[in-house]
Chains A and B, each alone.
Chain A
Amino acid sequence: MGARARTWGRVMLAGPGAIIVAVVTMAGMTRWIPGGTAGIDNVVLPLVLAPLIWAALFFYACLDPKLSRVAIVTGALLLVHGALVAVGFTGGTAKTETAR
């Protein structure tokens, strides 16, 4: 990959990539963070931590010398959390309603 393509790849991962992955991670976190004593940590913590998740993804995409590693890590985060959200839509929502 040429230097120009690498720069653009990094810009895409640090820019729109970080935003999309942060939003999907925030949504997916509601599925694996424990509810805690009040039963709200799973919905409140992702909301509070969202700006920090974005910042972490942004700086990681800027500073990791291996662009392929950045793509793999952020891609994995996107896939895992996207899958968690999808599972929630298919079966998890019903479970939440029952629990409520």
Chain B
Amino acid sequence: MIHLSKNETKLMVAVHGWSGIGLGLLLYAVIFTGMVAVFASEIGVWSAGHLGTRSAFEQPIDRIVRDLGARTPKIYREGTDLFEVGDHGLGVFFHHHETAANGELISRGIFYSVERDGRIQARAGTNEEVFGPRNDDALSHFLVDTHVRLHIPNPWGLLVTGILGLAMLVAAISGLLIHRHLLKDIFTLRTKSSAVLAERDRHSVAGTWSLPFAFVLAFTGSFFSFYGTIGVPIVAMAAFGGDVQAFSEKVFGNPGAPDPRPAAIGNLDRIASDAVRRAGSPPTYVAIEHFGRADAEVTTYHNARTGGIEPMTLLYRGADASFERAKPQVGTRPSAGGSLAAMMSPLHFGNFAGVLSKSVWFSLGFAMCYVTLTGLRLWLVRRRGGARSLDWLDRSVSVVGFGLPFALVVSAAAFLVSMPLGRAIWWTPVAFTGAAATVLIGAVIAPSRIIIDRALLLGTGVLMMGLVPLRLATGGPGWAAAIEAGQPIIVALDFAFVCAGTACIWRIIGQAWAVRPVGTLQAAE
């Protein structure tokens, strides 16, 4: 337990409050979309009705990549990235590295999207230009993009979310410091006391349980946001004279004597099957350096083994497809810095133990959303009756707190309708923007904040329950087909939407019947 003097505690309470109030609504948006994005790949499967379960790397890829390599200009064979797209299709990006005018290291080349039925689409450009959303992943792409950079162009979007991560770090640490009785606070729920005390207890309990998680998420999130925007350019400037490519090669490359003699790439199917056997799971990503040269190296990246947290990486000689060694994801040999950096991703995304860890991350994310919203409400309650009216802020909390889930559900509904028509890339964000604008107008004309809350909760609940019939009506696979294909996640998410929708409606009914509505909190302090 950390003991602070009365003045220090007072200061920390102010820091805790203002770190939440200053950026609380944006922070809530990032946390909420992050919570949903934990299941981005599952939502992608559910929304697009993908029934394939075999990874692209468990299907023949050698002939495809070899043929694509033959038709690609030699300049773009410096690096080749392979990863899954859509319903276990294969994405192949042949590229070379170059430094943009602003000093940023970019990849330029040709991106081939190979569907399971053999259709190939090619797009030329930089990594920023070719990896946009697809019609069948527009919803999950939209979710992730909202979380990562709030749809603000790079690098500003990443800087904003990085600053929000630091604000969350401050809120988490100051939250820990102001707890005088941490263990007691974890279990204290005075439900029969005044509304404010009960609300404060719930805020405190949810906040205390999710404190370590909030710290980890804020730390890893701000690391990811600042990594490429500020961190790498500055470290490269200090240690490599500003050469970002030299930094990248040092940290992620596989150093060896260059051998530019032409040599056909070894059998990639052999590499893929050997990697699956060694790692116990198919690769999530494969990188080939110097495709078509004698010094080609193939690196396969895998999720952590069961019970582990650090992802696995295997290295193969490209020319003869022979296994070279298991290597760390960062650096050529195991090291403290490499291990720490490699753990940032599983710790942030919660994907190290499959659906189980993702569910824990989702639940704790939900607790943090609750903490952020109740924190904002408590701050407002304490200032109610002050000289300045904070009704606008009270309404803003409702607009963001309940309006964001509503707008996301509207965008999901729009995706389900527009995807079969091939228009999901356009309609998904447009529906979100339209819903958000409607919420804003409604919030301005609504007579009270309580009505805004209830209308949005009701709308979200009804829409969530409607997503399941909508999905089925627009050609999505039924439960029997999904289970038969080995995709129970489609059924699970249908069930989750119905439950969440019911919970929203149930809450409104509960509030209507309650003797003491939530909105009539009286300041107790």
Residues of A within 8 A of B (CB): 23, 26-28, 30-31, 36-48, 50-52, 54-55, 58-59, 62-63, 85, 88-89, 93, 96-97, 100
Contact = CB atoms under 8 A, between A and B. Distances in A.
B464 to A, nearest CB: 35
Contacts of B174: 59
Interface in B234-264: 234-235, 237-241, 246-247, 250-251
Q: Which 6 A-B pairs have the closest CB atoms?
A: A38-B331, A44-B337, A41-B337, A38-B335, A27-B238, A30-B239
B251 A30 contact: no
Contacts, number: 116
A40 B341 CA distance: 11
A36 B336 contact: yes
A43 B235 contact: yes
Nearest to A36: B335
Contacts of A36: 335-337
Given A44-B330, A51-B169, A88 B335 contact: no
Contacts of B338: 38, 40-41, 44
A50 B226 contact: yes
Contacts of B165: 51
B336 A45 contact: yes
Nearest to B252: A40
A55 to B, nearest CB: 5
18 contacts: A26-B235, A30-B238, A40-B251, A40-B330, A43-B337, A44-B330, A44-B335, A44-B338, A45-B340, A48-B223, A48-B340, A48-B341, A50-B226, A51-B223, A58-B170, A62-B11, A63-B11, A89-B241
A82 to B, nearest CB: 11
Interface of B: 4, 8, 11-12, 15, 165-166, 169-170, 173-174, 177, 218-219, 222-223, 226-227, 230-232, 234-235, 237-241, 246-247, 250-251, 328, 330-338, 340-341, 344
Interface of B is mostly: helix
A27 B246 CA distance: 16
B239 A48 contact: no
Given A44-B338, A89-B241, A97-B241, 13 more contacts: A37-B335, A38-B331, A40-B338, A43-B337, A44-B330, A46-B231, A48-B341, A51-B165, A55-B173, A63-B12, A96-B239, A96-B241, A100-B246
Contacts of B227: 47
Contacts of B240: 93, 96
A51 B166 contact: yes
B300 to A, nearest CB: 19
A54 B9 CA distance: 21
A81 B253 CA distance: 28
A41 B335 CA distance: 7
A27 B332 CA distance: 23
A3 to B, nearest CB: 12
A51 B173 CA distance: 13
Contacts of B251: 40, 43-44
